[in-house]
């Protein structure tokens, strides 16, 4: 793309729609995240699950209190944790009965955001021969997305 083409560049309808999709998914993650994290934290606090024997350091008897460490739970405790998370999410209508119980609604929302961002990178990068899979560094990916969203936001109605 030449300098003159860049000065007169106007985004396509598809570019604008994909930017809208990214913004909607960003909002969805921001709404869901504190709710899911609160539920997870409450359940971990309630049960005070211990680290599975296969991960345990013989000197300490640790308790898992953060979602980032639930991989350390034994299978039985992890099932209790997931079941209670899903029951609470259904109770507050974050998800419904048809939602796949094996999936965390926050992880689904974050995955939808990643997919929308991937589409944005590919469509906005096309004139510059940039593809999402070529943006390896998170900081470069984030900067490319942010710059394009700032530009495209003026066209969203």
Distance in angstroms (rounded) separating the CA atoms of residues 10 and 17: 14
Distance in angstroms (rounded) separating the CA atoms of residues 96 and 115: 23
Q: pLDDT tens digit string along 27-49? A: 999 999 999 999 999 999 999 99
> What is the structure's pLDDT at 59?
44
Kindly give the parts of the chain with pLDDT less than 50: 59
Q: What is the pTM of this model?
A: 0.86
Name every residue whose Cβ is closer than 8 Å to that of residue 124 and which is 6 or more positions away in sequence: 15, 130, 144, 148, 152
Closest residue by Cα to residue 148 from 82, 126, 134: 126
> What is the structure's pLDDT at 41?
96
Residue 19 in contact with residue 121, Cβ under 8 Å?
A: no
> What is the structure's pLDDT at 119?
97
> What is the structure's pLDDT at 36?
97
> What is the structure's pLDDT at 55?
80
> What is the structure's pLDDT at 101?
83
Task: Report domain extents, the chain.
Answer: 15-153
């Amino acid at each position: 793309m030449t300098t003159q083409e860049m000065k007169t560049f106007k985004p396509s309808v598809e570019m604008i729609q994909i930017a809208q999709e990214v913004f909607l998914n960003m909002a969805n993650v921001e709404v869901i995240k504190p709710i899911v994290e609160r539920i997870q934290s409450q359940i971990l606090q309630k049960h005070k699950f211990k680290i599975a024997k296969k991960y345990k350091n013989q000197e300490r008897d640790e308790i898992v209190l953060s979602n980032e460490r639930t991989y350390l739970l034994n299978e039985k405790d992890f099932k209790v944790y997931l079941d209670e998370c899903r029951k609470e999410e259904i109770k507050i209508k974050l998800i419904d009965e048809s939602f796949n119980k094996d999936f965390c609604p926050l992880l689904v929302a974050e995955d939808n955001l990643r997919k929308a961002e991937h589409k944005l990178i590919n469509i906005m990068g096309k004139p510059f021969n940039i593809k999402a899979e070529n943006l390896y560094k998170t900081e470069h990916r984030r900067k490319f997305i942010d710059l394009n969203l700032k530009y495209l936001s003026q066209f969203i109605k």
